[in-house]
Amino acid sequence: MSDRSLKKQLISMAADGRINPPSDDVLAVEEPLEIRLRGPGHEPLSLAITMRTPGHDFELAAGFLFSEGIIRRREDIRSISYCTDHDDRPSENIVIVTLADHCTIDPERFSRHVFTTSSCGICGRAALEFVRTLGPPVLNPRLRVSRDVICSLPDALRRAQTLFARTGGVHASALSDCNGQIFLAREDVGRHNAMDKLIGSLLMEGGIPASEAIVVVSGRASFELVHKAVLAGISILVAVGAPSSLAVEVAADAGMTLIGFVRDRRFNIYSGPERIV
């Protein structure tokens, strides 16, 4: 059993109303993670607190900073480490990201704590303009994917969801190639955290823009998931559930192919249909 899940005793009720004997259930862990940012010549600033499932914390921090426009490439990060404020022992709920010397930050911009829950990151229509201010996304207009590949992705994602198989309580984001082969997957109690972990992994490996990849998410396609994928240069986002109106608007504005309700060999294309053959 990893530290990403734990056992708790429960009492369940049978279909006929009888109370079953106490038994163990496996739950996904949810704990806070504070992200601190240290710029050249500055003390660490508390940037955000998010409720997440422990694991891949450095990727989560890097992906969050990338999605916020604070960093744009791996070389912008000098180091990522757990905080050692207490008895020189690392606190695994506090991550410090130290920026490279060529980076500059405005401390006033981060003068207050930013709290994000496990279900929602940045929100609001103003963020549509934020996507545009970071420059045009590097999406791939020539990418083509078959209908059969799109239909196969939900099953492929479920096979990659090892924590979900044990707990039934986490979201997932995964990257697939054009043949439907998933090569990277991340899980978390927060859907935006799962995406940040995925993008953070890409960033640390020099994989952005990911213009040849498809991203598939286990639930609905919220604005924030589309926003993060667009910034990472991902051209196709496939969701098992529905997209929001702002998610469709952001995808169409960026030239992304957005697909939802993939089930029973059917799906809806909300933008960019030319990439599906």
Integer Cα distance of 182 and 199 in angstroms:
15
Question: 21 preceded by cis ω (within 30°)?
Answer: no
How far from the centroid of its chain's Cα atoms is residue 180's Cα?
20
DSSP lists the bridge partners of residue 35 as 48, 95
If residue 203 lies in a helix (H) or strand (E), which one and from where to where? helix 191-204
Q: Order of strands, edge to edge, in the sheet holding 31-38?
A: 77-86, 89-99, 31-38, 45-52, 115-116
Half-sphere exposure of 242 (CA within 13 A, CB side): 3
DSSP category for residue 78 = E
Integer Cα distance of 224 and 180 in angstroms:
24
Annotated catalytic residue 83: no
Residue 145: both structure tokens together: 């994917």
> To which residue do tokens 């196969």 refer?
152
Of 83, 120, 151, 178, the catalytic one is 120
User: For residue 187, what are the CA distances in angstroms to 9, 11, 95, 195, 219?
Assistant: 24, 27, 19, 8, 12
Burial class of residue 277 (count of CB atoms within 10 Å of its CB; 0-12, 13-18, 19+):
exposed
Residue 148: both structure tokens together: 């059969």
Residues designated catalytic: 120
